[in-house]
Amino acid sequence: MITIVDYGMGNLRSVQKAFKFIGSDAVITSSAKKILKSSLVVLPGVGSFSAAMENLKKLGLIDVIYDVINIKKKPFLGLCLGLQILFERSEEGNCRGLGIFEGEVKKYSFKKSLKIPHMGWNNIKLQMTNDKLQIFKDIENNSYFYFVHSYYVKPKDKNIIASTTKYGIDFTSSVLYKNIFATQFHPEKSQENGLRLLKNYVDYTCN
C-alpha cells in the first residue's frame, strides 16, 4: 500500500491521480497506523514551511515520519515542500524542520529580473552516476520538469544531491539518500517525465 500523507498542505489529489495513472493505488491519509503499515510513504506539499511543520505537529505525524524513515526504513518520497521540511531550518519564518538532512532552506534573492517564485518548466542535470539512478531510467539528462517555489534547499552533504537545476543559481532539485528520494519539482505536474519518474520509483522500491 502506498500512502500519501494528508497534513493539510495542498496537491494531494493530483499526486494520487498520478499514481493511479501508472497503475499504483495510493491512499490519502493522516492515520499513523496506515502510514506505518504502508510500503511507500509520500509526503507532498504546497504552501509555507512553518504551516507544514505546525500541521504535522498538531496531527502527531512528526514522530511517525521519523519512524518511517529511521526505524522502519520504508521508501520515502518527498515532493516540493515535502523535500524542504526534511532539512534543519528554513529562512521562511526562521522555522525548524525535521532535521533528517543537515542543511537549510534558502530564499531566492536576485538582483536581476528573474521572477520569484520560480514557476514553470526547467531542466534537471543528474549528479549521480551509480545504480541508484535507476530512478531516472529512460529519462534523459537535462529533461524538463515543472517547478513552483520561492525557496530552495542547500544540503550540507553534497553527496545526497541527485540533480541540480539552474535558475539564477545552480540549486538542488532532488536528493537521494538510502530510503529517501525527494524532489523540488512536481512529478505529478511534469507529464510524461514525471509519470515515468514515479513509475521508476515504485518499481525500484516496492518490487
Catalytic residues: 80, 186, 188
Which amino acid, 97?
Answer: G
- Strand 76-79 and strand 180-183: pairing? parallel
> What burial class does residue 39 get, using C-beta atoms within 10 Å of its C-beta: 0-12 exposed, 13-18 middle, 19+ buried?
middle
